[in-house]
Amino acid sequence: MLFSKVNNAHLALAAVSKELDEHPEWKKYLINIGGTFNWRNISGTNRLSAHSFGITIDINTSYSNYWQWDCDCKNEDAKLTFKNRIPMGIVHIFEKHGFIWGGRWLHYDTMHFEFRPEFYAK
C-alpha cells in the first residue's frame, strides 16, 4: 500500500502495525484495509480528503461507523448520534504513534486514522 514518507509517516505506521500484531484478537478490524492513498474530495464536499496526501489509513470498513452512513445523508447540519465498534485499544495505539482518530470528530469516521507529525515523538 502507498503511504507517505514525509515526516516519517511510514515509520509511525510501521510502529503501529508492529504493536497491533501483538493483538490477534483485533485482527478482524485490521484486515481488508479500506484504503490509504486516494486523490479525492471528502464525500459530499469540495474539500480535498487527507487521503489525497497518503497520511491516512482507513481500517476495515465492515466494522466502521461513518456519520453519512448512519444518517443516510450528506447534510453536515444533521443531528447525529455517535456510534463506534472499533476497540479503543486500537485507537490508543494509533494515537500513541502520532495519529488522530476520526472517531473523535463530530462528523465521526471510525475507520479513519490520520498521521499528524506534530503529535509524533521520534
Shortest Cβ 65–Zn ion spacing (Å): 12
- Contact (Cβ atoms closer than 8 angstroms) between residue 30 and residue 21: no
Q: Distance of CA 66 to CAs 43, 54, 86, 100, 106, Å?
A: 11, 20, 12, 16, 11
Which is closer to Zn ion, CB of 106 or CB of 121?
106
**Is there binding between residue 112 and Zn ion (CB under 5 A)?**
yes
- Residue in 51, 16, 14 with CA at minimum distance from that of residue 36: 51
CA 27, chain centre distance (Å): 16
Q: What is the DSSP letter of 49?
A: P
**List of residues 6+ apart from 79 with CB closer than 8 A:** 71
Beta partners for 109? Answer: 66
Stretch that binds Zn ion, among 8-16, 62-70, 71-79, 112-120 (CB under 5 A): 112-120
**Is there binding between residue 59 and Zn ion (CB under 5 A)?**
no
Which is closer to Zn ion, CB of 31 or CB of 121?
31
Identified binder of Zn ion from the candidate list 13, 30, 58, 103, rule CB under 5 A: 58
Which is closer to Zn ion, CB of 24 or CB of 42?
42
Which is closer to Zn ion, CB of 84 or CB of 121?
84
Shortest Cβ 21–Zn ion spacing (Å): 22
Would you tell me which residues interact with Zn ion (CB under 5 A)?
Answer: 58, 112
